[in-house]
Amino acid sequence: MSSDYFFDDDFDDAALAEVEAIETAALQQAKAPAPPVPAPRRPQPQSLKSDSSIDMTFDIDESELAKLDDFVAQQYNEKVLQAPQAGPSSRPMNRTTSSNMLQTTLFGDIIPTQSAASKLKSPPSAAMQRTKSATRNIFGQQAPKTKIWDHTAFAQSGNKPKKGAKGKGKGKASAKDDDDEEEDSIELPVVPDLLEAKHWIFPTNRAKRDYQYNIVKNCLFDNTLVALPTGLGKTFVAGVVMLNYYRWFPEGKIVFVAPTKPLVAQQIVASHDTCGIPGYDGVELTGQVKSATRARFWQEKRVFYMTPQTMESDLASGACDPLDVVLLVIDEAHHATGDYSYNKIVRFMMAKNPHFRLLALTATPGNNPDSVQRLVDGLHISKIEIRNENSLDLKPYIFEKVDKFLPDV
Ligand SMILES: Nc1ncnc2c1ncn2[C@@H]1O[C@H](COP(=O)(O)OP(=O)(O)OP(=O)(O)O)[C@@H](O)[C@H]1O
């Protein structure tokens, strides 16, 4: 079958001519420029007025409108004036806690409230003074520099060789700057294990006591005085802090000092049995161990349990290098007054390596602020963790003593 068969038509010529004429006319119309399209118009709001049935004329009195404007303006101005302003408050500070109780001292005395007038005597700038910015510690934390080593006082102790004479005209301030520079320029020979230093551990082979956990957490990052009543686990707290420094500083040395040999022995047991510090890395150093042997142990071991007199002697002989010590734990810290061995050790250590961590433990910090302050100064303490029998977090662990007559059976 041929395709021509389908397209063969028999239309009338006249009709075809008419169709052609219509096509031509349509084409010409398409080529002609399009008439401008009117821009789309926004729908106009319907005028309500167009509805003649609604009367939209307002008959509010102009004076009433003016009053309304005044009222709004007045309210606005009051708001602006009451808005919080930057800068020191002119209101007297209220020395109360959030529960609206009066603030007390460490010993439970109420701090006397000063009159607002006397408080305002000191310029706000004095209250807002910032401490000197501290360098970052080995953990990358911005540890506040709370204590500046008193080189003058230390020089009087005779242990530190006097520095070369300073040039004339160098005032006190510049001497202090030099001291700070010297302190900051000390490079730590002991580097932390950065993976281990990312976390700290708290052994759970003993029941977890919140106060012990909180105290340990603070002791890890500040030179802390821990005052806990007898029998509440200071030995355990010391052991946990020691364990963490032992893990963080694989090359660092940890020293525990206690005034008597039984106390030294008690810590060895707790550190080893309870906290898991390996026994092979620890050694008990007392005066009975010959100095040559002690010198060898200082090379080989990492954890040292000693009396303060032995430590003092090993620092003086050079057997113990203060730069190697990362943690010094002082048991029965209330002994640290005057020229006791504890104070000498800390003075010496601070002069040579102010970057070591210090933990001081006692059950009897003293019964007045001055005695606590003496410990704080003598041991370069920057934080105090103090609890007594009335501390709420100790209540579950303190048992009252009751005297009872028991008849013979
Ligand atoms: N978390 C704990 N769970 C159970 N027992 C604990 C815990 N902590 C400490 N103890 C136990 O409490 C007892 C007293 O602890 P520890 O000797 O450490 O107290 P301390 O505060 O050092 O006392 P002291 O002031 O006499 O030196 C020990 O028998 C110890 O094993």
pLDDT greater than 50 at residue 51? no
Q: What is the pLDDT of residue 157?
A: 52
3-state secondary structure of 110: strand
> What gap in Å lies between CA 130 and CA 115, rounded to an integer?
25
Q: Would you place residue 46 in the very low, low, confident or very high pLDDT band (cuts 50, 70, 90)?
A: very low
pLDDT greater than 50 at residue 170? no
> What gap in Å lies between CA 187 and CA 323, rounded to an integer?
9
Q: Of 202, 208, 211, 235, which is best to mutate to test ligand 1, by the most ligand atoms within 8 angstroms of its C-beta?
A: 235
Ligand 1 centroid distance, CA of 287 (Å): 27
CB contact at 8 A, 134 and 142? yes
44 φ, ψ (degrees, to nearest 5): -75, 135
Q: What is the pLDDT of residue 159?
A: 45
Q: Which residues is 362 bridged to in the sheet?
A: 227
> What gap in Å lies between CA 250 and CA 364, rounded to an integer?
34
Q: What is the maximal distance between C-alpha atoms in the chain?
A: 146
- Judged by average pLDDT, the poorest of 55-64, 146-155, 192-201, 282-291 is 146-155
Q: What is the pLDDT of residue 387?
A: 92
Share of the chain above pLDDT 70, in %: 62
Whole-Å CA distances, 203 to 140, 212, 277: 25, 11, 11
> What gap in Å lies between CA 33 and CA 28, rounded to an integer?
10
pLDDT greater than 60 at residue 336? yes
> What gap in Å lies between CA 184 and CA 163, rounded to an integer?
17
pLDDT greater than 90 at residue 327? yes
pLDDT greater than 70 at residue 194? yes
Ligand 1 centroid distance, CA of 130 (Å): 40
Q: What is the pLDDT of residue 120?
A: 37
pLDDT greater than 90 at residue 330? yes
How much is the average pLDDT of 251-263? 95
383 φ, ψ (degrees, to nearest 5): -145, 145
How much is the average pLDDT of 301-312? 96
Q: Of 276, 233, 285, 282, give the one whose Cα is nearest residue 258.
A: 285
- Alpha-helical runs (H) found in 166-275: 172-185, 210-219, 234-248, 261-269
Q: Which residues is 96 bridged to in the sheet?
A: 102
> Exposed/middle/buried for 356, CB within 10 Å: 0-12, 13-18, 19+?
buried
The whole-chain average pLDDT of the chain stands at: 75
Q: Of 209, 236, 385, which is best to mutate to test ligand 1, by the most ligand atoms within 8 angstroms of its C-beta?
A: 236
- As for ligand 1, residues whose beta carbon falls within 6 Å of it are 206-207, 209, 212, 228, 230-236, 363
pLDDT greater than 80 at residue 33? no
Residue 266 alpha carbon, nearest atom of ligand 1: 17
Q: Of 232, 274, 329, 398, which is best to mutate to test ligand 1, by the most ligand atoms within 8 angstroms of its C-beta?
A: 232
Q: For each of the domains in the chain, give its residue range(s) and CATH number, in order of start.
A: 209-397 (3.40.50.300)
Ligand 1 centroid distance, CA of 216 (Å): 14
Ligand 1 centroid distance, CA of 39 (Å): 90
Sheet holding 253-257, edge to edge: 282-285, 303-306, 253-257, 325-330, 357-362, 224-227, 383-386
Which residue minimizes the CA distance to atom 16 of ligand 1?
233
Residues 6+ apart with CB under 8 A from 189: 251, 323, 324
CB contact at 8 A, 279 and 302? no
Whole-Å CA distances, 55 to 38, 51, 65, 204: 35, 9, 21, 84
23 φ, ψ (degrees, to nearest 5): -60, -45
Which residue minimizes the CA distance to atom 25 of ligand 1?
230
How much is the average pLDDT of 250-279? 93
pLDDT greater than 80 at residue 3? no
- Judged by average pLDDT, the poorest of 130-134, 144-148, 368-372, 390-394 is 130-134
Ligand 1 centroid distance, CA of 306 (Å): 20
**Range picked from 4-8, 70-74, 302-306, 404-408 for highest mean pLDDT:** 302-306
ipTM attached to this prediction? 0.94
Ligand 1 centroid distance, CA of 201 (Å): 19
Residues 6+ apart with CB under 8 A from 356: 322, 325, 326, 327, 328, 349
Local structure of residue 51 (DSSP, 8 states): S
Q: What is the pLDDT of residue 8?
A: 45
How much is the average pLDDT of 321-328? 96
Ligand 1 centroid distance, CA of 29 (Å): 106
Residues 6+ apart with CB under 8 A from 174: 166
Residue 236 alpha carbon, nearest atom of ligand 1: 18
Residue 228 alpha carbon, nearest atom of ligand 1: 21
Q: Would you place residue 163 in the very low, low, confident or very high pLDDT band (cuts 50, 70, 90)?
A: very low
Q: Of 284, 330, 290, give the one whose Cα is nearest residue 303.
A: 284
pLDDT greater than 70 at residue 167? no
Number of H-type helices and E-type strands within the chain = 14, 7
- Residues 63-118 have pLDDT tens digits of 877 887 888 788 777 765 555 444 444 444 444 444 445 555 555 555 555 544 44
Ligand 1 centroid distance, CA of 270 (Å): 9
